[in-house]
Amino acid sequence: MRIGIAQLNPTVGDLVGNRRLILDAYHTLVAQGAELVVYPELVICGYPPRDLLLKRRFVSDVETTLTEIAAVIGEVPALIGTVEANPAATGRRCYNSAAFCQNGRVVSLARKCLLPTYDVFDEDRYFEPSSAPPSVITVSGKKIGITLCEDIWTHPELAPSNRYRFQPVNWLADQKLDLMVNLSASPWHHGKGYLRDQLITDAALQLGCPVVYVNAVGGNDELVFDGRSLVSDATGRITARLPAFTTENRVVDTTVTLAASPGQSAAVAGCAPVAQPTSPMADIHAALVLGLRDYTHKSGFKKALIALSGGIDSALVAELAVAALGADNVMGVSLPSAISSDHSKDDARDLARNLGIRFETIAIADSVAAAEAALGPIFAGRAPDVTEENIQARVRGVLMMALSNKFGALLLTTGNKSEVAVGYCTLYGDMCGGLAVISDVYKTQVYELCRWINRERIVIPVSTIEKPPSAELRPGQVDQDSLPPYDMLDAILQGYVEDGQSRRDLVARGFAEHVVNDIVRKVDLNEYKRKQAAPGLKITPLAFGVGRRIPIVQKYVS
């Protein structure tokens, strides 16, 4: 069967714009010979709609938009992710559904069975789960099972906690299907593509039929969707894969099969047609660029601002901004204080030259001195400490926000995950901004990314990468005055923040107890800063933000 896959980039709440995308894709794919056109989950309203679903008119407006779309759908049917109002007097207000449309009307609706309520997902807050098994439709004499995203995420190796009593794929295995389609809006994190491959190919083997997986692409708030829609044949071999981090409309033939080499299993043959990217850094870079571009444009901005310290974090953010928005739409600003080193100022200038962006310098020594003079009478008799250091950072924040207001440009913050985790950042200072681009990128990954960026030519100055990292808030300061080496810090943070390990677990892994205690204390103590931080792009299985909900005021010691 010839399936038209519409790998689209919808915007949350943009019903008119999303309708246009849906219909444009339909006409394109029908013209290419599609017998059925399939779209991502909730494509009409965008994913995740969150509390828009609680607005009085939102669900009915989505249903009206679906009716308008269905009126244009001809003899070639389409499966479209949508919101369906719950007609019952009890339960949640709506269902997460797939509308089967043909000949100008909505023929039927297939409801999502399993609602994820973990990490960034809170679908049980809004949707009612289907009380019936997955829907099965007939198209051109073919029996097609319909699942939505989480309905297939029940593989024992991928969901060891056994979250669900009911497994939709198991039920569909008895239906003798000719094809299964999965409509998804599955956010990306590093390594997730391989998990999806296993899910889809295992489902195909269990069902004994081809499986078509269509995923959304694009950035919505902190989430990045990578696309990578794919098709597996009945033997578990992937026969088609759409590209990562970009939209595409493609017709795929589910009757295509692949012959394995002698002795080659289906699992080994699975990725033969189109391999996954070989460079993890290429994947992370593409995700950050897409997330930054969509956050900027979907928020109504065209330009971005970055405070260039001469350090590696701001250099990386500037390069990502240029890749996302173009050099003409990025401004870098150096804000040297009385103690800023010459090499930092030179590195900032060299970076801007390499990137081809506008570069401005605003000296802050006089502004800092004025603030210190104003506070002097009240601070009399108290020794200088981190308070004075933070004045520098906060003066920079004031000036950068003023530039943002004046030029209508989005200010990008430059703190990495390692710094944000332990509070090595200044609230209302370097944390000022509208998007924390690399707040889910560990410092060790920052270095890897910068070296990857420089793989063909020097973009980020070599001295920026090689010099000891420093906030330069006092003479001679380096990060390692306050923190352990970043490879050690990042390993501890990954264990504590992402894997839920306790202090005892970390010490048992060989980390010094006093180091573990200090890092864990800093992570817990600085929760209040992270609650006030700009949203950050998620690239790991657990990022700071909506997926990690630790109380600010709490006394638990792990």
With a pLDDT cut of 70, the percent of the chain lying above it is 93
Structurally, the chain folds into a number of domains equal to 2
Tell me, yes or no, whether 323 and 232 share the same domain: no
In the block, tokens 């924390």 appear at: 436
Catalytic entry in 41, 63, 319, 419: 41
Q: What pLDDT, on the 0 to 100 scale, is given for residue 267?
A: 36
Kindly tell me if the per-residue pLDDT of 270 is higher than 90. no
Same domain as 41, residue 9: yes
| CA 66 to centroid of chain Cα atoms | 27
Instruction: Please state, in angstroms and as integers, the Cα–Cα distance from residue 149 to each residue in 8, 53, 196, 244, 496, following that order.
Output: 15, 19, 10, 18, 29
- Name the one residue in this structure whose structure tokens are 């004025």: 370
pLDDT band at 273 (very low <50, low <70, confident <90, very high): very low
Q: Find the range with the poorest average confidence among 259-273, 339-353, 430-444, 510-524.
A: 259-273
Q: Residue 401 pLDDT > 90, yes or no?
A: yes
Residues 245, 107 within the same domain: yes
Per the domain annotation, does 538 fall within a domain? no
Q: Which domain holds residue 126?
A: 2-276
Q: Is residue 210 part of a domain?
A: yes
Residues 67 and 216 in one domain: yes
Same domain, 260 and 298: no
CA atoms within 13 A on the CB side of 183: 35
Q: Which member of 112, 298, 303, 538 is catalytic?
A: 112
Q: How far apart are CA 179 and CA 286, in angstroms?
A: 32
360 and 331 Cβ atoms separated by less than 8 Å: yes
In a domain, residue 162? The reply is: yes
In a domain, 419, yes or no: yes
The CATH number given to whatever domain includes residue 53 is 3.60.110.10
How far is CA 449 from each of CA 137, 323, 422, rounded to the nearest angstrom? Answer: 46, 13, 21
**528 in a structural domain:** no
287 and 266 in a single domain? The answer is no
User: Does 558 have pLDDT greater than 60?
Assistant: yes
Identify the active-site residue in 45, 101, 113, 149. 149
Is 101 considered catalytic here? no
Distances (CA, A) of 174 to 133, 136, 151, 235: 12, 12, 16, 17
CATH (domain of 424):
3.40.50.620
Determine the residue type at 340.
S
Per-residue pLDDT tens digits for 531-551: 999 999 999 999 999 889 899
Residue 359: strand pairing partners? 332
Residue 288 and residue 175 share a domain: no
Query: Residue 343 has what pLDDT?
Result: 82
Same domain, 294 and 159: no
Please report the pLDDT score of residue 148 as a whole number: 98
The band of 261, judged by pLDDT with boundaries at 50, 70 and 90, is very low
Of 448, 479, 510, which closes a domain? 479
Whether residue 237 contacts residue 269, with contact meaning beta carbons closer than 8 Å, is answered with: yes
User: Span 334-357, mean pLDDT?
Assistant: 91
- Residues 162, 147 share a domain: yes
Band the pLDDT of 473: cuts 50, 70, 90: low
- The answer to whether residue 486 is domain-embedded is no
Average of per-residue pLDDT values in the chain: 92
Does residue 56 contact residue 24 with C-beta atoms inside 8 Å?
A: no
Q: Is residue 427 part of a domain?
A: yes
What is the structure's pLDDT at 42? 98
pLDDT of residue 262: 36
Name the β-bridge partners of 2: 253
* 149 classed as catalytic: yes
Identify the pLDDT of residue 151.
Answer: 95
State both tokens at 200.
């889809």
- Report phi then psi at 480, rounded to 5: -70, -5
Between these two residues, 244 and 194, which has the higher pLDDT value?
Answer: 244
Q: Are residues 248 and 109 in the same domain?
A: yes
Q: What is the pLDDT of residue 264?
A: 36
Q: Which range has the worst mean pLDDT, 53-67, 343-357, 474-488?
A: 474-488
Per-residue confidence band for 195, with pLDDT thresholds at 50, 70 and 90:
confident
Least confident of 141-150, 394-403, 480-489, 490-499: 480-489
- 247, 276, 305 — which closes off a domain? 276
- Residue 510 counted as domain residue: no
112 tagged catalytic = yes
Last residue of a domain, one of 479, 509, 536: 479
> 234 and 294: one domain?
no
pLDDT of residue 165: 83
| pTM across the whole model | 0.93
What's the average model confidence in pLDDT over 313-340? 96
CA-closest candidate to residue 217, choices 239, 192, 246, 241: 246
**452 and 326 housed in the same domain:** yes
Report DSSP state, residue 339.
T
